[in-house]
């Protein structure tokens, strides 16, 4: 427990993640989800308005429980019931092959053992189910990547363990997924080190 990590940081993250530039990326990432969906890093519920009608239930995991309070309005307005099932994507209290899809937006950067979390995602996804992701990570441009490596320690310290330098595509593939789609772009707002996007879908190989 700590004032910064458990109270101030989730509020700052909520403000930063409410950036209107992210809304179309949330919509694009949530498109095609259906049935029972697991969300890694629920945060303050900013994806709720973008869940397609075909989503019947959301299973949410996040260690920062203050996010649920910040999500109160969005939860009240959401037609999709939300179950807060756990605090850590590395240990999912879900049966094998029990979810139709998994949503992760700007969360794989922050999970300490991301390989373990993705192994859990693999375990709980039904055959044919997909991981839908919008993440930031290691940039293709070597000059930006060099700064990402240099600033990674500071970022991790200040931003709750968020890494600037994770090669999201390679991490997802190494966990046994096949990438079905992957797009890159910089956000228009924010420094290049923190805004190189990985937008895609992956299914269990
Ligand atoms: C940058 S925020 C993104 C929040 C939300 N997904 C969004 O798009 O607004 C990163 C989130 O990852 C969560 N997180 C960190 N470690 C985690 C873990 N081990 N399991 C699940 N979520 C985690 C944080 O608490 C935080 O809510």
Q: Give per-residue pLDDT as tens, 35-58.
A: 999 999 999 999 999 999 999 999
**Is the pLDDT at 33 greater than 80, yes or no?**
yes
DSSP-assigned beta bridge partners for residue 35 = 55
pLDDT at 90: 98
pLDDT at 106: 98
Residue 91 per-residue DSSP state:
S
pLDDT at 171: 98
**Is the pLDDT at 141 greater than 90, yes or no?**
yes
Inter-residue contact 32 to 53 (CB < 8 Å):
no
DSSP-assigned beta bridge partners for residue 58 = 37, 82
**Is the pLDDT at 1 greater than 80, yes or no?**
no
Strand ranges for 19-147 from DSSP E: 35-40, 55-61, 82-86, 99-105, 125-136
Determine whether the shortest distance from the Cβ of 39 to ligand 1 is under 6 A: no
Determine whether the shortest distance from the Cβ of 110 to ligand 1 is under 6 A: yes
pLDDT at 5: 83
- From 107, 131, 137, the mutation candidate for ligand 1 (largest count of ligand atoms within 8 A of CB) is 107
**Is the pLDDT at 59 greater than 70, yes or no?**
yes
- 88 — alpha (psi -120 to 50), left (phi > 0) or beta? beta
Q: What is the mean pLDDT of the chain?
A: 97
Predicted model pTM: 0.97
Determine whether the shortest distance from the Cβ of 107 to ligand 1 is under 6 A: yes
Calculate mean pLDDT across residues 147-168.
Answer: 97
Residue 194: both structure tokens together: 């923190």
pLDDT at 104: 98
pLDDT at 7: 87
SS3 content of the chain, % helix, strand, coil (to 5): 40, 25, 35
Calculate mean pLDDT across residues 98-119.
Answer: 98
Report the percentage of the chain scoring pLDDT > 70: 100
Determine whether the shortest distance from the Cβ of 9 to ligand 1 is under 6 A: no
pLDDT digits (tens, 9 = 90+) for 92-105: 999 999 999 999 99
Domains within the chain, CATH numbers bracketed: 3-204 (3.40.50.150)
Calculate mean pLDDT across residues 12-20.
Answer: 95
Inter-residue contact 51 to 78 (CB < 8 Å):
yes
Determine whether the shortest distance from the Cβ of 62 to ligand 1 is under 6 A: yes
């Amino acid at each position: 427990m700590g004032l910064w990590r458990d109270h101030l940081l989730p509020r700052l993250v909520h403000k930063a993640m409410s950036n209107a530039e992210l809304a179309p990326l949330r919509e694009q990432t949530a498109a095609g989800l259906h049935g029972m969906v697991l969300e890694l890093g629920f945060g303050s519920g900013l994806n709720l308005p973008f869940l397609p009608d075909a989503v019947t239930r959301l299973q949410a995991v996040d260690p920062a429980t203050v996010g649920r309070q910040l999500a109160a309005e969005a939860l009240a307005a959401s037609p999709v019931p939300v179950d807060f099932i756990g605090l850590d994507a590395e240990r999912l209290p879900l049966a094998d092959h029990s979810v139709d899809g998994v949503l992760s937006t700007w969360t794989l950067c922050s999970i300490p053992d991301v390989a373990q979390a993705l192994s859990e995602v693999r375990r709980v996804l039904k055959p044919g189910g997909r991981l839908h992701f919008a993440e930031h990570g290691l940039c293709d441009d070597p000059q930006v990547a060099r700064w990402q490596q240099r600033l990674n320690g500071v970022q991790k310290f200040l931003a709750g363990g968020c890494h600037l330098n994770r090669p999201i595509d390679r991490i997802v593939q190494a966990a046994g997924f096949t990438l079905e789609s992957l797009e890159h772009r910089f956000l228009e707002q924010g420094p290049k080190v923190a805004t190189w996007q990985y937008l895609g879908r992956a299914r269990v190989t």
